[in-house]
């Protein structure tokens, strides 16, 4: 009796079917990847907003122990000799043990961020705590710009700090902005932090209370430059913004 082996038929993808599957995967990837990147960017911005809020809160805690005055970066020159004023803002908060982590001052989505975080704000080996650590300053562009010389009695609408890259027109510079020209965060003396695609006509004048676009017109201005607030930042060298490492003085608003 003859035994017959069972016959098996094997089938696989045809070339057309394989190309169709590859095309579908490509379409799904094209749809999914931008969505994932957008979600990741929004999540990082939420972290940035939280960091800015903590910086503003830390400055107010500092004020509670310093006659209701937030960090005055020009006056801190003797405390941190040889340092650029802009870096004295994080330094004085760290020296007072209020906010010591350098990560609060950088945004991972920032094109200017190298991806390497500083070791510390203050040099650990310096017992006097009057040296700002080189890893925090050398070649660094901070994600935030600070308003120095504020008092707790100033209007609640006064900006305390904001995302780097703001121009006099109230828009964020596409090259210097942390999020390019998408917008940025502003922290106010009243404690609120908000994201603005533009602050044009959304700030409050330091003179009349009407709306202004130039942040220099929204911070306290005195009879002289010495009695006025200043804006400090680390803009890229090819950018013309409202701040410099040494500070730009307030302007009287309309």
Q: Which residues contact 6 (CB under 8 A, 6 or more apart)?
A: none
- The four Cα atoms 45, 46, 51, 53 give a dihedral, to 10 degrees, of 120
Task: Give the DSSP H/E element, type plus range, for residue 112.
Answer: none
Tokens coding 64: 């509670």
For residues 60 and 70, the answer to whether their CB atoms sit within 8 Å is yes
**pLDDT on residue 9:** 47
Tokens coding 122: 């203050």
Task: Give the DSSP H/E element, type plus range, for residue 37.
Answer: helix 15-64
Domain spans of the chain, in order of start:
15-249
Distance CA 164, CA 77 (A): 23
**pLDDT on residue 8:** 44
pTM of the model: 0.84
Tokens coding 216: 């220099």
3-class DSSP assignment, residue 249: strand
**pLDDT on residue 21:** 77
CB atoms within 10 A of CB 101: 14
Nearest Cα neighbor of 202 from 242, 249, 149, 166 is: 166
Tens of pLDDT, residue by residue, the chain (254 residues): 444 545 444 556 687 777 777 878 878 777 766 655 566 767 889 999 999 999 999 999 999 999 999 999 999 999 999 999 999 999 999 999 999 999 999 999 999 999 999 999 999 999 999 999 999 999 999 999 999 999 999 999 999 999 999 999 999 999 999 999 999 999 999 999 999 999 999 999 999 989 999 999 999 999 999 999 999 999 987 778 999 999 999 999 99
């Amino acid at each position: 009796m003859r035994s017959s082996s069972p016959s098996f038929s094997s089938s696989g993808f045809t070339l057309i079917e394989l190309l169709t599957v590859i095309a579908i995967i490509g379409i799904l990837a094209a749809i999914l990847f931008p969505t994932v990147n957008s979600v990741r960017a929004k999540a990082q911005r939420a972290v940035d907003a939280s960091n800015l809020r903590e910086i503003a809160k830390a400055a107010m805690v500092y004020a509670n122990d310093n006659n209701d005055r937030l960090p005055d970066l020009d006056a801190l020159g003797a405390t941190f000799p040889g340092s650029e004023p802009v870096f004295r803002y994080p330094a004085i908060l760290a020296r007072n043990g209020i906010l010591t982590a350098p990560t609060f001052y950088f945004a991972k989505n920032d094109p200017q961020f190298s991806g390497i975080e500083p070791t510390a704000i203050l040099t650990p080996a310096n017992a006097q705590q009057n040296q700002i650590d080189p890893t925090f300053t050398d070649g660094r562009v901070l994600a935030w710009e600070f308003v120095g010389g504020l008092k707790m009695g100033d209007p609640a609408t006064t900006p305390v700090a904001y995302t780097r890259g703001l121009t006099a027109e109230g828009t964020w510079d596409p090259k210097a902005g942390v999020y390019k020209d998408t917008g940025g965060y502003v922290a106010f003396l009243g404690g609120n932090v908000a994201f603005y695609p533009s602050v044009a006509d959304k700030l409050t004048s330091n003179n009349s209370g009407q709306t202004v676009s130039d942040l220099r017109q929204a911070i306290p201005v005195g009879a002289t430059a010495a009695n006025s607030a200043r804006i400090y930042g680390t803009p890229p060298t090819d950018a013309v913004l409202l701040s410099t490492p040494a500070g730009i003085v307030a302007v009287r608003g309309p």
